[in-house]
Structure 1
Amino acid sequence: MEVLKSRKTLQDFIERQKEMGKKIGFAPTMGALHNGHLSLYEAARSQNDLVISSIFVNPTQFNNIEDLKKYPRDINRDIKILENSGLVDAVYIPEVQDIYPEKAESRHYDFDGLENEMEGKSRPGHFDGVGTVVEELFKQVKPDNAYFGEKDFQQLAIIKKMTEKKGLHINIIGVNIYRAENGLALSSRNQRLTEDRRKDSKIIYETLIKVNDWFRVVSIKEIKDRVKDVFDDQKGMQLEYFLIADENTLKETDFFYKDKSYRAFIVVVVDGVRLIDNMHLD
């Protein structure tokens, strides 16, 4: 596996691969890798000649400087995980100046309102940061296909919108949420939880399963009340928000329409660690 530590090294590598006509699959990460990330590369491996990862903790998508400082970093561990997986041909590990040669700041994007829903309400500018770093990585890596997990479903929708509006000829492919045996969605943030609290947090997935059972059987107001009751009974857990939204617009709904697709979104803070999850509703 090639380890590419500068923009110039990456450019030389990409040029050689493009000259050979290689189809490139790409999945960017912020490191702290786990099996959820590897599931992206597994999907990419089956559809491309070459699979590239990147590891870059993007400063412009953190609203809270303390969150940026706390974000887990162990580059040697991450490289070893990628090497041992046998799924990745190269990993790009840029410095800040490789992504932001002048100043680490976000460009402003219009995502047709997707950025104003859910996470965007409490994290102003977050998705501008996401759009900026992903667009820059796309320009440098020049992938044919790019892979993102559905755990961050709003981010996936935003990247699809950005790619469409910028006229980038890249297929954006969503990959199913990778879950632990107890159903907890894998996340780098989970490393900040104790083993017991990771076990307790399975209640998030179990609640989404119940929501899917209740879907179209009881009203959305009743579903929201039931979800609130579940987490009112959980010690050390705070329900930040739960909502059901149109999968295409991400706008919250209070009524089910037969011709639309819906998804339940939930954020729960467990011992100060913010966990997000979602589920398509059948």
Structure 2
Amino acid sequence: MYIIKTIDCLYKKIQFFKKKGKTLGLVPTMGNLHKGHIELILLAKKHADIVIVSIFINPMQFDNTLDLKNYPQTFLEDYLILKKEKIDILFAPETPEIYPNSINMHTYIEVPKLSKIIEGKSRPGHFTGVTTIIGKLFNLIQPNFAFFGEKDYQQLLIIKTFVKELNYPIKIISMPTIRLKNGLAFSSRNRYLNNLELKKAPFLYKTIKKTINIIIKNNGNKLHETIDFAKQSLIQKGFLVDIFNVYNLKTLNFFSKKNKKNIILASVWLGNTRLIDNEKFILLN
């Protein structure tokens, strides 16, 4: 496994593999790796000759400086995981390597509509930071494939959109959310939860599943009452609800009975930890 810190070294290694006709697969991360990341790496190995994992805690996508400061940095643990998985390249640049000048004055990539609704409305600038760093990584590595989890569904849809609209010759491959047996989605932010919160956290996914069952049973009728009931259930359990609603799977417009493919997107606070989750469903009639 090559550990690369600079863009110059990365470029040389990428060109070396490309001249050999190797296909490249990129798994972008912010470190603090967990089972979800490992499953993405295993998926990447099935598609690409060379697997590249990036670790970069991207300051541009944090709307809260305290959140950035507190984000878990576990490079040694991550290194050992990646070494065990026998990836080919770990790209782990320092911030000045990626943003040599002021972040606020840096050129950025933005997907106008999708970046400013739902999670983007609650976290202004977040998705602009995501698309900018992903675009930079795509330019630097020029992968054939890039791999993302579906837990961050709005982010996934935004990345697919800018890849299509900016004509990147990259295939985006996604993987369903990896969960613990109790339903809690694997997330780097789970480290912030105390023992009591860890016991409560799976209730979010259970509520999403229960809500979908009610929506399907009612054929999409009484949606507002169903969503309000779900929110109240979460509040009574100790969650602070920011987002919990039904959206069109492809456009993220609000639910309409004309839409067959839908998704519930949820963002909640449990103590000081923001948890996000989702689940797709099909309304047949």
TM-score range, shorter chain: over 0.9
Contact 1:96 1:104 in 2 (8 A): no
Name the stretch that deviates more: 25-34 or 224-233: 224-233
Tell me the matched-pair count. Answer: 278
Rounded to whole Å, the distance in 2 between the matches of 1:119 and 1:206 is: 21
Contact 1:60 1:104 in 2 (8 A): yes
Rounded to whole Å, the distance in 2 between the matches of 1:60 and 1:112 is: 17
Instruction: Indicate the RMSD between aligned Cα atoms, in angstroms.
Output: 1.4
Q: Which amino acid aligns with 2:228?
A: D
Rounded to whole Å, the distance in 2 between the matches of 1:63 and 1:178 is: 26
**Alpha-carbon shift at residue 61 of structure 1 (Å):** 0.5
Residue 230 (1) aligns with residue 229 (2): no
Rounded to whole Å, the distance in 1 between the matches of 2:231 and 2:11 is: 50
Which residue does the alignment assign to 1:91? 90
Give the share of equivalent positions with the same residue, in percent.
Answer: 36
Q: 1:25-73 CA distances to partner (integer Å, 9 max, x unpaired)?
A: 1011011110111111111111111111000000111111111001000
Which residue does the alignment assign to 2:267? 267
Which residue does the alignment assign to 2:32? 32
For 1:11-22, list aligned pairs within 5 A. Answer: 11-22=11-22
Rounded to whole Å, the distance in 1 between the matches of 2:211 and 2:45 is: 34
Give the alignment partner of residue 245 of structure 2, picking from 237, 243, 246. 243
Contact 1:179 1:186 in 2 (8 A): yes
Residue 56 (1) aligns with residue 56 (2): yes
Q: Which amino acid aligns with 2:277?
A: D
Rounded to whole Å, the distance in 1 between the matches of 2:6 and 2:159 is: 24
3-state secondary structure, aligned to 1:233: helix
Rounded to whole Å, the distance in 1 between the matches of 2:235 and 2:270 is: 13
For 1:144-163, list aligned pairs within 5 A. Answer: 144-163=144-163
For 1:1-282, list aligned pairs within 5 A. Answer: 1-86=1-86, 88-105=87-104, 106-218=106-218, 219-235=222-238, 237-253=239-255, 255-258=256-259, 260-282=260-282
Show structure 2 runs of 5+ residues with no match: none
**Alpha-carbon shift at residue 206 of structure 1 (Å):** 0.8
Give the structure-2-normalised TM-score.
0.93
**Alpha-carbon shift at residue 195 of structure 1 (Å):** 3.2
Q: 1:47-106 CA distances to partner (integer Å, 9 max, x unpaired)?
A: 1111110000001111111110010002111111111223x2111001222212333235
**Alpha-carbon shift at residue 107 of structure 1 (Å):** 3.5
Show structure 1 runs of 5+ residues with no match: none
Q: Which amino acid aligns with 2:241?
A: L
**Alpha-carbon shift at residue 257 of structure 1 (Å):** 1.4
3-state secondary structure, aligned to 1:53: strand
Rounded to whole Å, the distance in 1 between the matches of 2:9 and 2:21 is: 19
3-state secondary structure, aligned to 1:276: strand
Rounded to whole Å, the distance in 2 between the matches of 1:8 and 1:108 is: 21
Change (3 A) 1:16 1:108: closer
**Alpha-carbon shift at residue 215 of structure 1 (Å):** 2.2
**Runs of 4+, deviation exceeding 6 Å:** none
